[in-house]
Amino acid sequence: MADKYRIQGGTQLKGEVNIGGAKNAVLKLMASAVLAKGESKIYNVPDLTDVGIMLEVINGLGVKTSHNKIEKSVTIDATNITSVTAKYEYVSKMRASFIILGALVSRCKEAIVALPGGCAIGERRVDFHIKGLEALGAKIKIENGYVHAKAPRLVGTDIYLDIPSVGATENLMLAAILAEGSTRIQNAAQEPEIIDLANFLNTMGADVNGAGTSEIVINGVKQSDLHPIEYTTIPDRIEAGTFMSAVVASKGKAIIRNVFPAHLTFFTDKLIKMGASIKLIEPTAIEVSCKNRLNSINFVTQPYPGFPTDLQSMAMALLTTANGVGIITESLYENRFMQVPHLLRMGADIHQDRNHAIIKGVKKLTGATVSASDLRAGASLVVAAIMAEGTSIVENLHHIDRGYENFDKKLTALGANIIRYNDETENVKGLKNESRV
């Protein structure tokens, strides 16, 4: 049976919380480990549904893997690859697994990868991936729901991305690692996860320059130049932003550890403008607090270093009870306001006009039964439930499990009144309670 959260709102969050490894980085590092023959080990790996899916994708290639959940590490032995097919049953569940395309084309000169799936937050086409690979010399056919790429010889070239797509940037970086000559990716994505991927590849023996800027240059190396490595993933800036939001929503005070503050500069600035207090207490720790009712702000989601689309829904939850009227413009995905109808059930005053949301602050939210429609929308409903008066039920937790490790346990440690359950366990508890009467 599907798990749910029961959340009693109105409790101030206090204490400390440790942020895990970045989901959007570690999945790409796992795929990249396939490039080098031998056994690589990645640390600071969160125990997420998406990590399990990526392991299944890699296992399907004949690569040996192991996942040590206590040590928070994965080991990937890519000495041998026996298949170049990434099956639909796995790739359809998680868009990030599509990056295996670039890794396979680079190392095996061929790849058969299912078209990607993941959260239904809008159209995320693979055109940029395909055009870039073709520019490098790959021959590509799309049939029966699969991308079939063959590239006996990849040659470096200049590639311009119409938009700074994170996935396309990453796929083309991997494809170019073993190409002849130099590849220049212009209008490249600049996210911290791109820098982490470049650092991983360079540690492995690749030659990647400019990651974190709009122009990345990859000088091709030989297969024999690549070697297995040990590497530690960066902290998850989106998880950090989610807990920052939850603390502010509860009018609490907490220390958030294992965070790179520079990765959250734009989001932090907006929270401070709303009335939150955020202090750097250590190089990788911040203190977040909020005493008074927040003030409304306007913002537009943008590629990094702008306001992150993955934290838009969290900010919307905060704006529902802020002073005044706030306007959010979602510039990246057309279906990224899927939390709106659920926030309305909790008493929010939100008017949506295509990619604009106008949020008029109300006095309070009230508990309701709501459902996670995607990963970040689901997390925002948890934040809203923490700030609401009364009890909320959040359903469809499988979406939240894709990106948050032990979400309820971490919130409980901060003092939140949150219980994870399903109808079967609830019935069993009910029977036990009745037997005691």
User: What order do you get walking across the sheet with 14-18 strand by strand?
Assistant: 14-18, 253-257, 285-289, 277-282
- Neighbouring C-alpha atoms within 13 Å toward the C-beta of 368: 16
Which of 119, 247, 276, 400 is flagged as catalytic?
A: 119
Reduce the secondary structure of the chain to three states and give it as a string.
CCCEEEEECCCCCEEEEECCECHHHHHHHHHHHHHCCCEEEEECCCCCHHHHHHHHHHHCCCCEEEEECCCCEEEEECCCCCCCEECHHHHCCCHHHHHHHHHHHHHHCEEEEECCCCCCCCCCCCHHHHHHHHHHCCEEEEECCEEEEECCCCECCEEECCCCCHHHHHHHHHHHCCCECEEEEECCCCCHHHHHHHHHHHHHCCCEECECECEEEEECCCHHHCCCCEEECCECHHHHHHHHHHHHHCCCEEEEECCCHHHHHHHHHHHHHHCCEEEEEECCEEEEECCCCCECCCEEECCCCCECHHHHHHHHHHHCCCECEEEEECCCCCCCCCCHHHHHHCCCEEEEECCEEEEECCCCCECCEEECCCHHHHHHHHHHHHHCECEEEEECHHHHHCCCCCHHHHHHHCCCEEEEECHHHHHHHHHHHHHHC
Active site residue 290: no
Q: Which residues are catalytic?
A: 119
